[in-house]
Chains A and B, each alone.
Chain A
Amino acid sequence: GEQVEQLPSILRVQEGSSASINCTYENSASNYFPWYKQEPGENPKLIIDIRSNMERKQTQGLIVLLDKKAKRFSLHITDTQPGDSAMYFCAARPQGGRALIFGTGTTVSVSP
Chain B
Amino acid sequence: GGIITQTPKFLIGQEGQKLTLKCQQNFNHDTMYWYRQDSGKGLRLIYYSITENDLQKGDLSEGYDASREKKSSFSLTVTSAQKNEMAVFLCASTSDRGGYEQYFGPGTRLTVL
Contact = CB atoms under 8 A, between A and B. Distances in A.
Given A34-B102, A99-B45, A102-B43, A1 B59 contact: yes
Given A34-B102, A100-B102, A44 B94 contact: no
A98 B90 contact: no
Interface in B18-67: 31, 33, 40-43, 45, 48, 50, 56, 58-59
B105 interface: yes
Contacts of B100: 32, 34, 49, 51, 93
B42 A104 contact: yes
Interface residues of A, number: 22
Label chain A's interface by main secondary structure.
strand
Contacts of B107: 43
B31 A98 contact: yes
A46 interface: yes
Contact of A46 (B42, B50, B103): B103
Interface string A1-41: 10000000000000000000000000000001010100000
A96 to B, nearest CB: 11
Contacts of A42: 106
Contacts of A99: 33, 45, 48, 56, 58
B69 interface: no
29 contacts: A32-B100, A34-B102, A42-B106, A43-B104, A43-B105, A43-B107, A44-B43, A44-B104, A45-B104, A46-B102, A46-B103, A49-B100, A51-B100, A87-B40, A89-B42, A89-B43, A98-B50, A98-B56, A98-B94, A99-B33, A99-B45, A99-B56, A99-B58, A100-B102, A102-B43, A104-B41, A105-B41, A105-B42, A107-B40
